[in-house]
Amino acid sequence: MADLSINLAGIKSPNPFWLASAPPTNTGYQVQRAFEAGWGGAVWKTLGEPIINVSSRFAAVHFNGQRVAGFNNIELITDRPLEVNLKEIYETKKRFPNHAIIASLMVEPTQEKWHEIVKRVEAIGVDGLELNFGCPHGMAERGMGAASGQQPDLVQAQTTWVKEVATTPVIVKLTPNITDITVVARSAVQGGADAISMINTINSLAGVDIHSWNTLPNVGGQGAHGGYCGPAVKPIALSMVAECARDLGVGVPISGIGGISTWQDVVEFMLMGATGIQVCTAVMHHGFRIVEEMIDGLNNYLDDKGLASVTELIGKSVSRYSNWGDLDLNYKVVARINEENCINCNKCHIACEDASHQCIDMLTNADGKAILQVREEDCVGCNLCSIVCPAEGAIDMIPLENGAAPLTWNERQKVISSLNGSYSEAEVV
Amino acid sequence: MDHTSPLTTFTPDMFMRNFAEAEPGLTRKGAIEESNRCLYCYDAPCIKACPTSINIPSFIKRIATDNMKGSAQTIMDSNPVGASCARVCPTEELCEGACVLNDASAPIQIGLLQRYATDWAINSGVQLFTAGVSNGKKVAIIGGGPAGLSAARELAREGFGVVIYEAKSLAGGLDTHGIVSFRLPQSISLWEVEQVEKLGVEIRTGVKVGIDITVEELKANYDAIVLAAGMGYVPPIGIEGEKLAGVYDAIELVESTKTGIPTLELMGQRVAVIGAGNTAIDAATCSVRLGAANVKMVYRRTREEMTAYDFEYEFAKQDGVEFSWLTLPKRIVGDELGNVTGLECVQMKLTGETGKDGRLVPMPVEGSEFIMPLEAVVVAIGQKRRTDLIDALGLKHNWGIVDIDEATYRTSDPQIYAAGDIVFGSGKGEAMVVSAAQQGKEAAYAIVKQYLGQQDSVVGSAV
């Protein structure tokens, strides 16, 4: 059994599995149930001036008969008085002293308001603070959440105000609803953030009911944009984590959030630079018990890989993620179809024929059996056939040794500009 | 199923229960899950395995995307008796047998999905197709079974005036009369008949060609004729005792259960079914469900040589049917009142020699005669050919199998085409409803080509 414990910017947790600030962390009852189930930490549902929520609040995107590929909400921060939340945080921390409880905070962007809430919350004993600069709906209209998270100067200023009084580690939670997340991440760090967490939800409209023509969700026939999360957003979250992890101007621990539903997702986020992760949608879908399979899967994986601690995963793939301009133009892979595993669905053929480079032929072999064959000289190694192939082990992507030395676009441009001073196509970064 | 002691009588309740459709249809959730499992293969092997070439991935995708009308249209467009075929097709030999998922996981339940879509069409009452603009040509169709209905439907969509002459009081042929209700309820077949009628096809039931209307009249009044009269009842087996009371024709037995409680009484009786094809199985399971105390299938060869499909065999075993392999009936034994009391049989053995049909030849074992005590014998050794009708039409034939041009289904009389069981020859496997449907379509396309000089496929006119 590997050591699953983590230390994220000074916040210790028995495992990397935290609940994100969201409906599952609304009350002490819920967080205590979560800790009993095995969650290592919880970011409490955002504290602030209690709000009034609407009904209904959630909608989901289902895909090909599977429920909840993506999830959308228009719920706001806590609707309960601060003193009630603080009392329950106190009771929960007392019962679970070794678990991480982080208070998510959101107030109006003034120094006074931030000082006040930080002092009150830290007074009852939390392990850290997470500043919610990400919520894309409802609070943004009041100048909070994503509205401040989209302005690097406001992020920096508010982080600074918090750090002026905070005694526990401060995590700044970032919104993905921005062009370049590293800009805001750097601002948070300049403001003194001890860590960053990402991503908050993405602006979304879950759908339109094609029969009633109402939005999903809707409140008495009227809808508004919400925040999107769940498995569908994982690649977006992962890329943002990776961009921050490899940005030297960021350089603080990352708490990864966005569509994490399995232990494999956790491994991916940690390999891409996350020190720990947060989960919400998977719990909304399946309940707290889902953590049992996540812990067990992660444990077995670490044992299989011979890793003594989960922290050995952190950032191991970051160096393998760079810019397009740094990719080797001379590297070549081609698809190869293994007849013995092929089930002849012809999905590869039609995908290649209609959407790629027309290099998979439907043939008949000497025994009269239908076979599929790649014309390797025309294959560009795009992976499409192996992506659509439903049969295990039927298509391999094989690297071809072509003898050419590695050459990236950026290297090529340098050579060209050194040969011809007037040629000045930009590097790709 | 109700299995009762010989003392009780067969009640309407038992009939309702025992003859209700045995296999449940898919639920909506089941259909959504199963349809989403389909890989949507390109140039899909299931389509090639379907005699009517239903675009199976397409109809399944339409179920998955909640387009039930489109799904039903896709099925029925290729197969005018697609609702019946969803229930009676030997799918593991056809579409499902060809599914690429057979070895990877489990084949898609194409038959059940097809039933789900066609059931939707039946329940919604929506009309799937319309008739074409009249072209002034008239076609008579002899026989309102799968082949005749298919030909009629396609001709009507092309604007032909079509009249079906059906000898029985209801059209649908074998689907209406000859397949047990617990596999194919009559209402399904009658819906298919109704779909064809809605295209303006007139069905004159209770009319026998050559008796109620002359061949000359037909030939004078129609531009073309399609002969799709199928086959008849079971031929004589040629052993002593065939006329005894308690000897039944398997097809008549099944037919008698299709419209209500049959008058024949098998309650508590011991029954032997002679034969081992699909009709024999139907007759055996029918007998069980009519309350027979014991049902044995008597077959002179073995399990290996029987022509019934595996799923039919399994179904019969589940119904408690017993099998007497390598047993040749010699004589039906009766009492002085003329009632069946037994079946004298002789044991057989396989000689190891292979016959003309590729099956091992069975030989009697000398001195092994025995009498099987029983009260009823059901004969299911094939179907009679409609030689009289074929002769009346003056068509060339080979032992009742009408000679046709394989490409056009045209007979020796250029005005007459033939399709379905009436052209089905021995040694060509099992006569299937789905093949009859395809032949009916092809005969129709040949007529379209001949009389309108058009392409040989019907241009769709889906509603």
Q: Do B39 and A362 touch (CB under 8 A)?
A: no
Q: Do A344 and B32 touch (CB under 8 A)?
A: no
Instruction: Write the pLDDT tens digit of every residue in A340-373.
Output: 999 999 999 999 999 999 999 999 999 999 999 9
Q: Tell the CATH topology of A324-399.
A: Alpha-Beta Plaits (3.30.70)
Scanning A322-361 for CB atoms below 8 A from B yields 343-347, 349-350
Residue from B196, B219, B105, B208 nearest B148 by CA: B196
Percent of chain B beyond pLDDT 70? Answer: 95
The answer to whether A172 touches A155, Cβ cutoff 8 Å, is yes
Q: Determine the CATH number of domain B138-232+384-452.
A: 3.50.50.60
Biggest CA–CA distance in chain A, Å, is 82
Better-scored residue on pLDDT, B272 or B351 = B272
Instruction: Out of B32, B43, B104, name the one closest to residue A391 (CB).
Output: B104
Contacts of residue B45 in chain A, CB cutoff 8 Å?
344
Taking residues B456-461, report their average pLDDT.
48
A-interface mutation test, from B35, B36, B39, most A Cβ less than 10 A away: B39
pLDDT of residue A190: 98
Residue from A94, A98, A85, A97 nearest A30 by CA: A85
B354 three-class SS: strand
pLDDT of residue B456: 45
Residue from A298, A300, A286, A393 nearest A340 by CA: A393
Taking residues B356-365, report their average pLDDT.
88
* Residue A373 bridge partners (DSSP): A361
The 10 Å Cβ neighbour count of residue A251 is 11
Q: Which residue reads 């590097």 in tokens?
A: A427
Scanning A59-78 for CB atoms below 8 A from B yields 64-66
Q: Report the predicted TM-score, pTM, of the whole model to 2 decimal places.
A: 0.93
Q: Do B100 and A345 touch (CB under 8 A)?
A: yes
Q: Determine the CATH number of domain B25-124.
A: 1.10.1060.10
Instruction: Write the pLDDT tens digit of every residue in B403-426.
Output: 999 999 999 999 999 999 999 986
Q: Do A343 and B104 touch (CB under 8 A)?
A: yes
* Cα separation, A47 vs A77, whole angstroms: 7
Closest CA in chain B for residue A350 = B42
Which residues of B sit within 8 Å Cβ distance of A? 32-33, 35-36, 39-45, 64, 100-101, 103-104
* Residue ranges in chain A modelled with pLDDT below 70: 421-429
* Residue B360 bridge partners (DSSP): B354
Contacts of residue A343 in chain B, CB cutoff 8 Å?
100-101, 103-104
Contacts of residue A66 in chain B, CB cutoff 8 Å?
36
Instruction: Out of A64, A362, A391, name the one closest to residue B36 (CB).
Output: A64
Taking residues B110-118, report their average pLDDT.
98
Instruction: Out of B35, B42, B104, name the one closest to residue A350 (CB).
Output: B42
d(CA B89, nearest CA chain A) in Å: 23
Helix axes A234-245, A263-271, angle to 10 degrees: 30
Active site residues of A: 135
Residue A204 token pair: 């979304």
A324 three-class SS: helix
- How far is residue A115 from each of residues A104, A106, A118, A174, A209, measured CA to CA in Å? 14, 12, 5, 20, 45
Q: Determine the CATH number of domain B247-379.
A: 3.50.50.60
Closest CA in chain A for residue B36 = A64
The answer to whether A335 touches A396, Cβ cutoff 8 Å, is yes
What are residue A44's phi and psi, to 5 degrees? -60, 145
Instruction: Write the pLDDT tens digit of every residue in A118-160.
Output: 999 999 999 999 999 987 777 777 777 778 899 999 999 999 9
Pairing of strands B401-402, B397-398: antiparallel
Residue from A245, A274, A247, A246 nearest A260 by CA: A274
Closest CA in chain B for residue A354 = B42
- In DSSP notation, B88-111 reads HS-TTTTHHHH-THHHHS----HH
pLDDT of residue A1: 87
Instruction: Write the pLDDT tens digit of every residue in B203-237.
Output: 999 999 999 999 999 999 999 999 999 999 999 99
What residues contact B94, with CB distance under 8 A and at least 6 apart?
B49, B50, B51, B434
pLDDT of residue A12: 98
Query: Which of the four pLDDT bands, split at 50, 70 and 90, describes residue B9?
Result: confident
- How far is residue A138 from each of residues A131, A145, A161, measured CA to CA in Å? 16, 9, 23
The answer to whether B283 touches B311, Cβ cutoff 8 Å, is no
Contacts of residue A363 in chain B, CB cutoff 8 Å?
none
Q: Do A392 and B104 touch (CB under 8 A)?
A: yes
Contacts of residue A362 in chain B, CB cutoff 8 Å?
43
Residue burial B318-346, b: 16+ Cβ < 10 Å; e: rest: ebebebbbbbbbbbbbbeeeeebbbbbbb
CB pairs under 8 A between A and B: 37
Contacts of residue B42 in chain A, CB cutoff 8 Å?
345-347, 349-350
What residues contact B198, with CB distance under 8 A and at least 6 apart?
B127
Query: Which of the four pLDDT bands, split at 50, 70 and 90, describes residue B462?
Result: low
Residue from A363, A331, A362 nearest A347 by CA: A362
Annotated domain spans of chain A: 6-319, 324-399
Contacts of residue A392 in chain B, CB cutoff 8 Å?
104
Q: Do A346 and B39 touch (CB under 8 A)?
A: no
Q: Fold match between B25-124 and B138-232+384-452?
A: no
B21 three-class SS: coil
Scanning A242-281 for CB atoms below 8 A from B yields none
Dihedral Cα B86, B87, B91, B93, nearest 10 deg: -130
* Cα separation, A401 vs A335, whole angstroms: 14
Annotated domain spans of chain B: 25-124, 138-232+384-452, 247-379
The answer to whether B337 touches B313, Cβ cutoff 8 Å, is no
d(CA B24, nearest CA chain A) in Å: 22
Q: Do A347 and B42 touch (CB under 8 A)?
A: yes
Q: Do A65 and B64 touch (CB under 8 A)?
A: yes
Instruction: Out of B33, B42, B64, name the one closest to residue A346 (CB).
Output: B42
d(CA A347, nearest CA chain B) in Å: 6
Taking residues B188-195, report their average pLDDT.
98
Residue A170 token pair: 């401060």
Write the single-letter amino acid at A391: A
Instruction: Out of A64, A65, A344, name the one closest to residue B100 (CB).
Output: A344
B-interface mutation test, from A66, A339, A345, most B Cβ less than 10 A away: A345
Pairing of strands A226-229, A66-73: antiparallel
Residues in chain B: 463
Q: Do B103 and A343 touch (CB under 8 A)?
A: yes
Contacts of residue B47 in chain A, CB cutoff 8 Å?
none
pLDDT of residue B460: 47
Residue B193 token pair: 């008949």
d(CA A349, nearest CA chain B) in Å: 8
Residue A323 token pair: 């810019």
Instruction: Out of B32, B40, B42, name the one closest to residue A349 (CB).
Output: B42
Contacts of residue A389 in chain B, CB cutoff 8 Å?
none
What are residue A408's phi and psi, to 5 degrees? -90, 165
Instruction: Out of B32, B36, B100, name the one closest to residue A343 (CB).
Output: B100
Q: Do B33 and A65 touch (CB under 8 A)?
A: yes
What residues contact A50, with CB distance under 8 A and at least 6 apart?
A78, A79, A80, A81, A82
Q: What is the second-level CATH architecture of the domain A6-319?
A: Alpha-Beta Barrel (3.20)
| H/E segment holding residue B164 | strand B161-166
Better-scored residue on pLDDT, B458 or A288 = A288
Contacts of residue B27 in chain A, CB cutoff 8 Å?
none
